[in-house]
Structure 1
Amino acid sequence: MDNTSRIQARWRWPAFLVLHLLALLLMTSWLAPASRPLWQAANEALFYSLNGSLGHWPLWDWLWALSSLRVFDILVGALMLSMLIHSGWTFRAEETRSALLHFLALLALLLVGRVLFNKLIGYFDWQHASPSVVLAGAYHLSEQFPLLERVFELKDRSSRSFPGDHASVLLLWGLFMACFSRGWKLFAGQLLVVLCMLPRLVAGAHWLVDVAVGGLLLALLAFAWGYCTPLAGRMAAGLEALYQPLLPLLTRLPLVGQWAVLQRH
């Protein structure tokens, strides 16, 4: 990897410790008997506020139904990828490949963290169902839009909603991009993260705690162990070595071959 790049996963002890402290505080605040009722009250208040907005205006319902489809997640992922590798948005052309490979390494660490966290969830019985399954009076988009549900599957309920996997990926991307973005681009990136987490909350697939505790905790730990240590950098270097033999072929592809992420700098 280019040692002159801004994108350098290395030991950052203060950030490493702060991120772990934040993750610990999040879990403690949720599990502590004194604060657990506050989280539950916030969970229910947010659910009834957001989900309660449905069922009044057809266009509003269509908006959240479409954004709750799994295919919408693909579109969001494509947008995030475009912002990551578009030269001139956050990263310079010569940085785009390093940025992409570092983020892929962070995603791999997030997956590992999710698997390990699942073991804890099962052992301590932290798992729970979606608010749309548990709470009375929920507005079920899957029932109101049966064709969308049958063809695409609406994400508005789950028997295992903790933590929010979708949110953890968005939050990890937001953390990574925030390290390099400034001004309105920083604001735009973080606003995208918030807006793309809303459909699951509005539809009732997730509680607030699934996102604000489970999803954020996973993102904080993956970022801490990946980018605040040399680990993601070493993984990115390994991906770069695997990627190099494919480079001549990829650069010959129409349109794709002109992407900055494929160019030698």
Structure 2
Amino acid sequence: MSAFSPQARWRVKSLLFCHVAALVLMASWVWAPGRAVWDAMDAAVFHLLNGSLGHLALWDWLWALTSTRVFDILVGAVLLVLLIHTGAVFDERQVRPALFTFLALLSVLLVIRVLFDRMAVPMGWQHVSPSLAFEDAYHLSDHFPLLERVFELKDRSRRSFPGDHASVLLLWGLFMALFTQGRWRALVLGLATLFMLPRLVAGAHWLSDDLVGGLVIAVLALGWGYCTPLGSQIARLLAFLAQPFLYLGAQLPWLRRLALFRQPPL
């Protein structure tokens, strides 16, 4: 486990690496020969994963339930617990600054996502989900109408690039991987990958939506949010704004046991 401290200085080499990595990823997808490879992988992965549906009821129910908004909330809870649980990745003194730093990274990701979206349409990068591109696609929303009406199944989109859901998961995985080693690093990266699967199985996203679009946004957000003082400054602002809630939590017996509510402000 690596020590965590809020990033308050420029890491030019790391920031440059993030930009080069993002550029190489995008170039591999935009460049015609590379795009042909990505398109082939996209189609193969879609038919492999989505093609597994429609044969076993329990299997279909699994992916239908994990493709709902409610499951997204449960995933968010799991990610939060691993982030703030003392000893999982961060020790007692690191939990609060780590949480607000990650929230700062999410803020940076949101800005980058908006800017990226403004480029995607005029550049011709936008496309429909594979579930809308292939006539033989298995649509979970058609076979589970009650789940679709009540919880909204995410199995199709007219604008699937980049993978927003994947960008958040990948940002969490990359951030946590910076401070873990061995099995813990494998665990956090494995969880990020596992939680991306429902959208791929349901056909809401192509593989490249996640591994190109989502990863590019996550890498850039990590670069600007943790390789510059920006993330630290946003984290301090968020911690200041959260003081009333942290004080309230510290007064409640079932919350004040958590390190998050026992630590001094950033």
- Say yes or no: TM over 0.5: yes
Q: What's the CA shift for 1:241?
A: 2.2
Partner of 2:25: helix, strand, or coil?
helix
Query: Residues 173-216 of structure 1, C-alpha deviation per residue, up to 9 Å, x if partnerless?
Result: 00100011122211111111111000000000000110011000
Q: What's the CA shift for 1:222?
A: 0.3
Q: Which residue of 2 aligns with 1:7?
A: 5
- Report the AA paired with residue 144 of structure 2: F
CA distance in 1, matches of 2:210, 2:263: 39
Q: What's the CA shift for 1:245?
A: 4.2
Contact 2:247–2:261 at 8 Å: present in 1 too? no
Q: Which residue of 2 aligns with 1:250?
A: 249
Query: Residues 86-115 of structure 1, C-alpha deviation per residue, up to 9 Å, x if partnerless?
Result: 001000011100000000000000000001
Equivalence map 1:21-170=2 (5 Å): 21-170=20-169
- Report the AA paired with residue 172 of structure 1: L
Aligned pair count reads 261
Q: Which residue of 2 aligns with 1:191?
A: 190
Alpha-carbon RMSD across the aligned residues, in angstroms, is 1.2
CA distance in 2, matches of 1:248, 1:8: 22
Q: What's the CA shift for 1:144?
A: 1.1
CA distance in 2, matches of 1:223, 1:6: 15
Partner of 1:11: helix, strand, or coil?
coil
Q: What's the CA shift for 1:127?
A: 0.9
CA distance in 1, matches of 2:263, 2:29: 48
CA distance in 1, matches of 2:212, 2:130: 16
Determine what percentage of the aligned residue pairs are the same residue.
56
Q: What's the CA shift for 1:36?
A: 1.3
Q: Does 1:264 align with 2:263?
A: yes
CA distance in 1, matches of 2:87, 2:184: 11
* TM-score calculated relative to the size of structure 2: 0.95
- Report the AA paired with residue 7 of structure 1: S
Larger mean Cα displacement after TM superposition, 169-178 or 248-257: 248-257
Query: Residues 45-72 of structure 1, C-alpha deviation per residue, up to 9 Å, x if partnerless?
Result: 1100110011111111111111101110
Stretches of structure 1 that go unaligned for 5 or more consecutive residues are none
CA distance in 1, matches of 2:36, 2:261: 51
Stretches of structure 2 that go unaligned for 5 or more consecutive residues are none
Q: Does 1:222 align with 2:197?
A: no
CA distance in 1, matches of 2:162, 2:68: 19
CA distance in 1, matches of 2:263, 2:108: 27
* TM-score calculated relative to the size of structure 1: 0.95
Q: What's the CA shift for 1:246?
A: 4.0
